[in-house]
Structure 1
Amino acid sequence: MTLQITIKQLAYFISAAELSSVSGAARALNVSQPSISTAINQLEDSLQQPLFVRQQGQRIILTPAGKFALTEARILQRQFKDFCLDTINFDGALQGELHISGFQDLAPYYLPGILAEFKSANAAVQISLDEGDQQQVLQNLLNCKTDIAICYHLGAEPKIIQHRLTALYPYVMLASDHPLATEKSLSLAQLVAEPLIVENLPRTKEYFMSLFRQFNLEPNIYIETSSFEMQRGLVASGLGVALSCTRPKGDLSYDGSRLICIPLNDDVAAETVVLCHLAELKTTKLMREFISCAEQYFT
C-alpha cells in the first residue's frame, strides 16, 4: 500500500481539528474552505478512516480515529520542523524560531534574563512566548505547541523530560502591620486561624494545600484569586495572609504597599524550577543551546 500524505494535509487537518471548523481553519491559514475540505477528504481516503463527524452547521468533531490521528499528526509536524531546523543549523550561526512557554507566576522572574543571554549569542533566532498556569504549560507541551517550557516541576509525567534549574522554598506573605510580621520564621500551625488568600490555579493551589495536609491542618481559605499580583495586593492591604514560592525582588504590591515575607520553619518540600520538553521528540540544536544557557544562568 502506497500512502501519499503531505505535510500540508496534516497542517490543514490539525488546524480544522483544533478549531472544530473547516471554515475556521481556512480563515486561520488564509486559504480557501474547499482546500481544507479536499485535504481532509484525501487524508481520510489515505488512512481509510473517518477523522471527523460532520454536524449541523459548520462544526466538526473528531472521531476516535481522528483523536489518535491528531496526536500523531502533531508529532509528525514537529518532527518535520525539527528536521528542517537542525539541517539549516548544521553549521554556522543558529537561526529559526524557538517557541517557549512559561508558568505565569515564575517565568517573568527568570525568563527575561535567560533570554537576554541566549539572544546575545544567538541574535538570528526568533523567540515566541506564551504564559499560562501549570496545566496550560503542560498541555502546550503535550500538544506540540511549544518547544520548551519553564515552570515548576510537573510531577510524574512520563511524556515530559524535566531539567532541574533550582529550588524555591515556600514563605509567608503578610501585611507590614500584621501582628506576626516581626517573627523570624512561622509555622503552618500559626497560619490556620488566619484568613488565607489563595491563588486558585491548577496544580498551584494543590501544592500549597498539600503542605497543610502534611501536618493534618485545615487552612481558613478566605479569598481565591487567579493572579499572583492580586494575591500580593490583597495581602498588602491587610485582607489576609498567603503562601508563595516565587518572590519578586521588591516586597511591594502594585499600589506600593509593603509586604513582609517570612520563611516557614516547617520541614516542607521545595518547589523545583525546571525546563521541560516532550520526551518523544528529539532535542534540537536550538533547544540544547537554550537549555545550556538556562543552566549556566543558575550556576
Structure 2
Amino acid sequence: MPSRLSIKAMQYFLAAVDSGSLTTAAQKLNVAPSAISNGIDQIEEEFQLDLVQRFPAKGIHPTTTGKTMVQRIRRLIEEYESLLSGGKELRESLSGKLTIGYYAPVAPSFLPGIAAPLLNQNKDIRLEFIDCNNESAQTGLLNGDFDVILFVADNAKPGIKCEALIDAPPYLLVPKSHGLASLDSVSFHQLQEVDLVLLDLPFTAQYLQGLLDENSIKPRIVATASTTEMVRSLVGAGVGCSILNMRPLIDVTYGGDRVKAIPLKTLRKPLALSLGYINRNPRRVVSTFIKSCLDYFGQDSARALTTKSEYTSRRE
C-alpha cells in the first residue's frame, strides 16, 4: 500500500522532540496540540515503531529508536526545505542556462541583438541556441529540450503558448542586375519564365510549393539549398531568383554580390514568426527573454527584416 506519511507529520514530530512538549510544539507551529499528537501517531503507525515516550507531567522524550529516526527525518526535512529554496531561486533568479530552439532562417540578423543586452546585464545567464526545423522546435519544447522557441506558428501543437513577433510576407530575391530589380513589386505571372533557387527546408518547401500551385506557376527549379545564405549566394551569383520571407539587414551575400528583395503580390497571408513557450510558471530568465523578444520586434527597426506586404484577399 502507498505510504500515508506526510512532510507535515514529520515536521510536527521534529518540533515535538526538539521542544520536548506537545503544547510548546503546537504554539511554535501555530496548530492545536492534537495535530502534533496525530502527526507523531502517523509516523509511529507507518513504521510500526515506538518513537517517543509521553509523560503527562514531563512532556515527551524520544526512545532509542526514536533518536535514530530523528536524525534521518531531520536530514529528509532539510533536503525538502533545500529543494523548495532551490526551486524558488530557480524560478526567481536571472541565472542559469536558457536553451532556445529556433526555426528562423535569418535569426543571426536579430537574435544576437536580443541576446547581447540580456547577457551584458546578467552575467550568470548562459544562452544556448539550437537551429532546428519548425516541427522539431515544437517537439523539443514540449519534451523539455528547449525553454523557448522561435517558429512559424501555423498549426502550433497543443500546449504551446504563442506570442506573434512579426508578419513575414513572401518576396522575390533577385540579383541587383536582374531585369525585375527595378520594380517596386512583382506578381506571380511574372515568374513563369524565371529560374528559381528553392530554400529546401521541411516547412518552407511546402509553403513555397503552395504559393506556386495556387498561382498555377511551374517555374524551373535550377537549384535547392538548405540554408538561406546559400540561397542568397546562389541568387547573387546569377544562378536564379528565389522566394523567401525574412531577410537579413544587408543586401550583400557571402560571395560579395548584391541582391534585392522585391515584394510579391499574393493571395496568401504572410507567415507569422512567433515565440513559443510552455505557459506554466516559466522561470524568470525565460520571462525576461520573452519580454526582450517582444520589445525588439515592437520597434520600427525590426520591420527591416521583412518587405512590405502585398497580400490581397482577391485576384486582381
Residue in 2 aligned with 1:87? 88
Q: How far 1:194 sits from its partner (Å)?
A: 1.2
Residue in 2 aligned with 1:213? 213
**CA separation in 1, counterparts of 2:105 and 2:187?**
24
Large movers: runs of 4+ above 6 Å = 82-85
Q: How far 1:129 sits from its partner (Å)?
A: 1.7
Which structure has the larger Rg?
2
**CA separation in 2, counterparts of 1:84 and 1:297?**
33
CA offsets 1:171-224 (integer angstroms, 9 cap, x no match)? 111112222222221011211221111011110111122222333333432211
**CA separation in 2, counterparts of 1:287 and 1:205?**
31
Q: How far 1:86 sits from its partner (Å)?
A: 4.6
CA offsets 1:19-76 (integer angstroms, 9 cap, x no match)? xxxxxxxxxxxxxxxxxxxxxxxxxxxxxxxxxxxxxxxxxxxxxxxxxxxxxxxxxx
Residue in 2 aligned with 1:40? none
- One-letter identity of the residue aligned with 1:194: V
1:57-206 correspondence runs (5 A): 86-89=87-90, 93-103=93-103, 105-206=105-206
- One-letter identity of the residue aligned with 1:88: E
- One-letter identity of the residue aligned with 2:211: L
Q: How far 1:106 sits from its partner (Å)?
A: 3.2
**CA separation in 2, counterparts of 1:186 and 1:137?**
33
Structure 2 residue matching 1:264: 3-state secondary structure: strand
Structure 2 residue matching 1:257: 3-state secondary structure: coil
TM-score by length of 2: 0.63
**CA separation in 2, counterparts of 1:156 and 1:97?**
25
**CA separation in 2, counterparts of 1:259 and 1:217?**
23
Given that 1:107 and 1:151 are in contact with CA atoms closer than 8 Å, whether structure 2 keeps it comes out as no
Aligned-residue identity in percent: 27
CA offsets 1:120-172 (integer angstroms, 9 cap, x no match)? 44332221221122233223213211110122224242132211111122111
Which blocks of at least 5 consecutive residues in structure 2 are unaligned?
A: 4-82, 299-316
Residue in 1 aligned with 2:31? none
Number of residue pairs aligned between Structure 1 and Structure 2: 219
**CA separation in 1, counterparts of 2:86 and 2:115?**
19
Which range is displaced more, 250-259 or 120-129?
Answer: 120-129
CA gap 1:84/1:232 in 2 versus in 1, 3 angstroms: farther
TM-score by length of 1: 0.67
Q: Output the aligned Cα RMSD.
A: 2.3
Given that 2:104 and 2:150 are in contact with CA atoms closer than 8 Å, whether structure 1 keeps it comes out as no
CA gap 1:83/1:228 in 2 versus in 1, 3 angstroms: farther
Given that 1:167 and 1:272 are in contact with CA atoms closer than 8 Å, whether structure 2 keeps it comes out as yes
